[in-house]
Amino acid sequence: MNILFATPECTPYVKTGGLGDVSAALPATLAALGHDVRVLMPAYRGVRVSGEIGDGVELPAWGPWPAAQLVPVKVDSGVTLLLLACPALYQRHGGPYVDASGNDYHDNDMRFGLLSRVAAQLGTAHSPLHGWAADVVHANDWPCGLAPVYLAQARALAPHEPTAVSVMTVHNLAFRGLFPMGSADLLGIPLHWRGLDGVEFWGQLSMLKAGLQFADAITTVSPTYAREIQTEAQGVGLDGLLRARSGRLHGIMNGIDTQAWDPAHDPLLPHRFSRDNLQGKRLCKAALQARCGLPTDPKAMLFAAVSRLTEQKGIDLVLGALPGLLAQGAQLVVLGQGDPTLAQGLRDAAERHPLQVAVTLGFDEGLAHLIEAGADAFLMPSRFEPCGLNQMYSQAYGTPPVVAPAGGLLDSVIDSDADPDHGTGFIMAACDAEGLQEALLRAVRAWNERKRWRRIQANGMARAFGWNESAQRYIEVYRAAIDAASVNGTLPP
C-alpha cells in the first residue's frame, strides 16, 4: 500500500510533543511491515536531515500559494521523508506553529493550507511525484485537516480518476485550528462546504472539524479518548459530529519507539540498565540529582515530570501537592516549557526549596531521557490525555507513573493497589488535588516496601509498548476505508 503520512512535526527534525514521536515511529513500523510510506512535512528553518537527498520536484505557484519544492530524503527507517520547501511560508524564526514570542503565525491558514493541499495532491492521479501516488492520505491534527477536504473535492471533480482515501487522526482535540471564515476564499473551500455540515465551527473555519467531517475514517490515539471525545464534557463542541461519525471513529493506542526508549541501549544515558539489573538506574538517579543540583541522596524519593507546561497537564496540581511531598523528604525534578505563570510557580518553588526541587525550563531531549531513567516515580496528573507517551516511557524505564484517570493513561497504566500482581503505577481516583495527594501517598508507601516497589517496576518494564500491534490496526483502518470507498464510489462528505 502507498501511504502518505502528512504531519506538521516529526522527530528528530522538529518536535513539540507526542505527535513528533508518532510521526517518526508509526511510519517506520508501517514501512517495516512492507508498505511504501512517505512522510510529508514542511521544511522549517533549521531542519537538518541526514540521508540520501533526491532531486527536488517543482510545485508551480497555485491559487494563493507561491511556488514550492518537494525534496525527497531517504532516511534510515526505510521511510521517504518529503520535505515541503516553501521558504516564504516555512523559513521562520520560532516553532512550527508560533513565532519566537509564542504567538500564532498570522498566516497559519496559508502555511498549513499548503501542507494539506500538497498532501491531497499526492493522493490523486496528478501527484507531483511521477509514478507514485498515495492509496491512503493519513492526515494528522488540524494542520493537515484540510487534506480530506481537498481529496473529497478532487474526487467530486474527477469521480472516475483514482483518488486516495483519507484518514484523519486526532492527537489532541483541544487544538481545533480556528481561522476567520474569510480564509475559506483563500483556501479554495467550495461555498457549499462552508456551512455547519462542512468546515464551519461557530462562524469560524475549523481545520480540525474540516478533517473530521470529510475524512473517510477518523482515528484517535487511545480507546478511552475515542469514547471521551464523544461526550459533551470533553468533546470541545465537536462531540456531536464525532458521535454522528462514530462508525468511522477508531481509538488506536500509540506505541513508543522501543529503540529510542530502551534503558538497556539508550545512548543518552550515562548508565544503562534492564529489568534484571537495576544498578545502572541507581547510578542514573545520582547523575540526575547531581545534574539538577540536588543532594545525591539515594534515600530521598525522587518524583519527576517532563511536560508541556499547560493547564491540560495538571502542573498546578503538582505545585499544590508539593508541601506534602516535601514533608515526606521527597525530591521533585521538572523539565518543561510553556505557560509563563506555571513556569514562574515552578521557579519560585525551586528557589524556596533548593535542596528538594529542581526545575529546568526549556526543551531538552537528553535530560528527558535522564529523568525517565533517574527518577523513582513519574507524575502525569493530566486533566485530559489523548494518549500520553511519558507514562509508557517511564514504565519502560522502571519509573512507575502516578497518573490521572483519563484517556490513554487509563489504557496504559495498571493501578498497583487495585491489581497488586500486575500493577505498574498509581491511578488517581479523580483528577484534583485530593486525588493526586492520595495517589502520591500510595506511591510513597509502596516505595518504602522495597520488594513491592521492585515488582511494580518489573511489571512496567515487562510491558510491550511497541508499535507493531497498533500499526496493524492502522492498516486495517486503511483497508476498510479503501474497501468502503470502492463499494460506495464517490463518498459524500
CB of 53 to ligand ADP, least distance (A): 27
Integer Cα distance of 452 and 457 in angstroms: 9
* 339 lines the binding site for ligand ADP (CB under 6 A): no
* 335 lines the binding site for ligand ADP (CB under 6 A): yes
CB of 21 to ligand ADP, least distance (A): 5
Interacting span for ligand ADP (CB under 6 A) from 16-24, 26-34, 46-54, 78-86: 16-24
Backbone angles phi, psi at 350, to 5 degrees: -65, -35
Q: Which of 330, 284, 325, 334 is nearest to 304 (CA)?
A: 334
According to DSSP, residue 299 is labeled: T
* 365 lines the binding site for ligand ADP (CB under 6 A): yes
- Residue number of the CB closest to ligand ADP reads 18
Integer Cα distance of 296 and 283 in angstroms: 10
What sign has the CA pseudo-torsion 62, 63, 67, 68?
A: negative
CB of 18 to ligand ADP, least distance (A): 2
* 305 lines the binding site for ligand ADP (CB under 6 A): no
Residue type, 224: T
Integer Cα distance of 440 and 303 in angstroms: 10
| Residue of the chain from 127, 166, 307, 416 that contacts ligand ADP (CB under 6 A) | 307
* 366 lines the binding site for ligand ADP (CB under 6 A): no
* 321 lines the binding site for ligand ADP (CB under 6 A): no
Interacting span for ligand ADP (CB under 6 A) from 84-92, 303-311, 314-322, 436-444: 303-311
CB of 319 to ligand ADP, least distance (A): 17
| Residue of the chain from 14, 389, 427, 446 that contacts ligand ADP (CB under 6 A) | 389
Q: How buried is 46 (Cβ within 10 angstroms: 0-12 exposed, 13-18 middle, 19+ buried)?
A: exposed
| Residue of the chain from 21, 257, 266, 316 that contacts ligand ADP (CB under 6 A) | 21
With respect to ligand ADP, which residue has the nearer C-beta, 308 or 479? Answer: 308
Interacting span for ligand ADP (CB under 6 A) from 24-32, 113-121, 291-299, 384-392: 384-392
* 388 lines the binding site for ligand ADP (CB under 6 A): yes
Q: Which residues face 40 on adjacent strands?
A: 6, 82
310 CB contacts (<8 Å, ≥6 apart)? 338, 339, 342
CB of 333 to ligand ADP, least distance (A): 12
23 CB contacts (<8 Å, ≥6 apart)? 5, 7, 9, 10, 11, 39, 41, 140
298 CB contacts (<8 Å, ≥6 apart)? 282, 285, 286
| Residue of the chain from 336, 381, 423, 435 that contacts ligand ADP (CB under 6 A) | 336
284 CB contacts (<8 Å, ≥6 apart)? 269, 270, 271, 273, 370, 373, 374
With respect to ligand ADP, which residue has the nearer C-beta, 123 or 336? Answer: 336
Interacting span for ligand ADP (CB under 6 A) from 114-122, 286-294, 362-370, 397-405: 362-370
* 263 lines the binding site for ligand ADP (CB under 6 A): no
With respect to ligand ADP, which residue has the nearer C-beta, 102 or 323? Answer: 102
Interacting span for ligand ADP (CB under 6 A) from 59-67, 315-323, 335-343, 394-402: 335-343
Interacting span for ligand ADP (CB under 6 A) from 97-105, 125-133, 186-194, 387-395: 387-395
Interacting span for ligand ADP (CB under 6 A) from 2-10, 67-75, 206-214, 388-396: 388-396
Interacting span for ligand ADP (CB under 6 A) from 136-144, 149-157, 270-278, 306-314: 306-314
14 CB contacts (<8 Å, ≥6 apart)? 20, 41, 44, 46, 47, 95, 96
Helical H runs in 122-188? 146-157, 183-187
**Do 384 and 413 form a contact (C-beta atoms < 8 A)?**
no
Q: Binders of ligand ADP: how many residues, by CB under 6 A?
A: 17
With respect to ligand ADP, which residue has the nearer C-beta, 15 or 285? Answer: 15
Integer Cα distance of 488 and 72 in angstroms: 34
- Could you give the 3-state DSSP secondary structure of residue 51? coil
With respect to ligand ADP, which residue has the nearer C-beta, 16 or 69? Answer: 16
| Residue of the chain from 4, 70, 302, 306 that contacts ligand ADP (CB under 6 A) | 306
| Residue of the chain from 62, 132, 175, 363 that contacts ligand ADP (CB under 6 A) | 363
Integer Cα distance of 458 and 365 in angstroms: 25
CB of 342 to ligand ADP, least distance (A): 12
**Do 89 and 69 form a contact (C-beta atoms < 8 A)?**
no
- For 288-292, the CB contacts below 8 A with 24+ separation are 288/333, 288/370, 288/371, 288/373, 288/374, 288/375, 289/331, 289/374, 291/367, 291/370, 292/333, 292/358, 292/360
According to DSSP, residue 49 is labeled: -
Query: Would you state the cell numbers that stand for residue 402, as one nine-digit string?
Result: 502516578
CB of 491 to ligand ADP, least distance (A): 31
Interacting span for ligand ADP (CB under 6 A) from 34-42, 179-187, 359-367, 418-426: 359-367
* 390 lines the binding site for ligand ADP (CB under 6 A): yes
Cis peptide before 12 (omega within 30 of 0): yes
With respect to ligand ADP, which residue has the nearer C-beta, 204 or 258? Answer: 258
Which residues in this chain contact ligand ADP in the complex, by CB under 6 A?
A: 17-18, 21, 306-308, 335-337, 363-365, 368, 387-390
